[in-house]
Structure 1
Amino acid sequence: MECMAQEPVLFEDILCQMVDMIGPEREKYLTLSDLKGCRLSGNIFNILFNLNKFMAFETRDPFLIRQEREDPTLTEWDRFAHREYIRLSMEEDGEDASNGSGEVWDESLEAPF
């Protein structure tokens, strides 16, 4: 992790996090049935065997996770397109407001004929 400019994480902390994710029936050991019954078992294997996916898991965005839970039928592309649409519409509204206020200012300065 140091080669990726990340602070190393203690194995005890990772183990505690994995046990909390799995929620084993018995506290002293994990069984295969515990892993099979856990919805997050894929994350467990990523934590153990894939450093890149572990880093992605550790730095995940809680707001993005909440959005995924709100509407699980949307794909990542659908969520991206929705965010960009909102961002662009807000930019356009901001430009319209600034243009509109400029027009009002110009009209108030014009002398009557």
Structure 2
Amino acid sequence: MQLFFGLVNASTSCQVPRKFTSKVVGKMGYEDFVHFILSEEDKSSEPGLEYWFKCIDLDGNGLLTPNEMQFFYEEQLHRMECMAQEPVLFEDILCQIIDMIGPENEGYITLRDLKGCRLSGNVFNILFNLNKFIAFESRDPFLIRQERENPTLTEWDRFAHREYIRLSMEEDVEDASNGSGDIWDESLEAPF
């Protein structure tokens, strides 16, 4: 969500992939927020791929070049240094991206290349979301097992499920602190 706050505070730059529908100039409205959060949480969906592709394609030529990707990765390097993480050189990241996507031309990546790859959302996490990048790099065995158990779920489905559980647990804690006798029961979780 740290990315969200940075984008909400920006005015015209975050409107590059999609012009805001809000009547307040430079401000994100509800519809804009929903489109953004769907794109953020499921970067491998078609709308997510198109959204983030347009963010990186600085010159609008339909090609993601190493220079464009490096421009965004520089911010990730800065974040890694601030968090005392060992920085990963862009050259290594570029090799990883090329290996993941397998573009027709290794000098650039097209939207078509990304749409043909199951791991394409991870490219945008590498460039924009340090927490998801680190999670991808560390490959949490619990998350891998979840994905294998139900491969039909999208990243959005998994996000919505986690948030539902988190919010229901917060509600249960509030009820308990108010003297309510209700106790959280796992069998009442949503079936997804």
TM-score interval w.r.t. the shorter chain?
Answer: 0.5 to 0.7
Distance in 2 (CA, whole Å) between partners of 1:51 and 1:43 is 11
Matched, 1:33 2:79: no
In the alignment, the residues of structure 2 paired with residue 9 and residue 24 of structure 1 have an alpha-carbon distance, to the nearest angstrom, of 22
Partner residue, 2:103: 24
Letter of the 1:45 partner, please give it: F
Unaligned runs of 5+ in 1: 78-113
- The unaligned stretches of length 5 or more in structure 2 are 1-79, 163-192
Larger Rg: 1
Tell which has more relative contact order, 1 or 2 (C-alpha 8 A, sep 6+).
Answer: 2
CA deviations over 1:29-74 (Å, ceiling 9, x no partner): 2222101211112111111111222122112224641552244368
Q: 3-state SS of the aligned residue for 2:107? A: coil
Whose helix fraction is larger, Structure 1's or Structure 2's? Answer: 1
Equivalent in the alignment of 2:124: 45
TM-score (norm 1): 0.55
Amino acid at match of 1:13: D
How many angstroms apart in 1 are the aligned matches of 2:100 and 2:139? 15
What is the number of equivalent residue pairs in this alignment? Answer: 77
Output the aligned Cα RMSD: 2.4
3-state SS, counterpart of residue 82 of structure 2 = helix
Instruction: Name which of 85, 89, 102 aligns with 1:10.
Output: 89
1:26 CA displacement: 2.4
TM-score normalized by the length of structure 2: 0.35
